[in-house]
Every structure is written in C-alpha cells, then in structure tokens.
Amino acid sequence: DALGQLTGGVAHDSNNLLTVITGNLEMLEEELEGQAALKYVREAQEAAAMGARLNQRLLTFSRRRKLEAQVV
C-alpha cells in the first residue's frame, strides 16, 4: 500500500512538471516555425509524451487510475 501511495505521488508530481515543460515547448514551437532548431523542440515533445505514458503506467500500478485492459 505504501509503495502504491509513493508511486502515485511521484507520478502526480511528475505530471505537473511535464505539463509545464509541454506548454513551454508548444510556445517555443510557434516561435521557431520554419527554423532548423525546431527538430530539437519536437524531439523534446516526444520525450515528454513518453514521460506522460510512463506516468500513466505508474498511476495504474498505484491503483489511482482505472485499469484498462487491452488485447495484444
């Protein structure tokens, strides 16, 4: 139970950080439209999306999120 609570807390705090990072990357993307540096912004956005997916799995583990079974 304690591990689940810790995991849920870490995932929640991490989601808060990812929200700020993603929002700033979106604003930067608008500023860099058409520039070569835009590829770095898009790579960072993909990494943030991967972090969000990891947080979803952590929240599922901590049972704070409903388990959604999928056929694989």
Per residue in 19-69, pLDDT (tens digit) is: 999 999 999 999 998 898 999 999 999 999 999 999 888 888 887 556 677
Supply the pLDDT for residue 69. 75
Phi, psi angle pair for 40, to nearest 5°: -70, -35
- Mean pLDDT: which of 1-5, 12-16, 41-45, 60-64 is highest? 41-45
Is the overall model pTM greater than 0.85, yes or no?
no
Supply the pLDDT for residue 66. 60
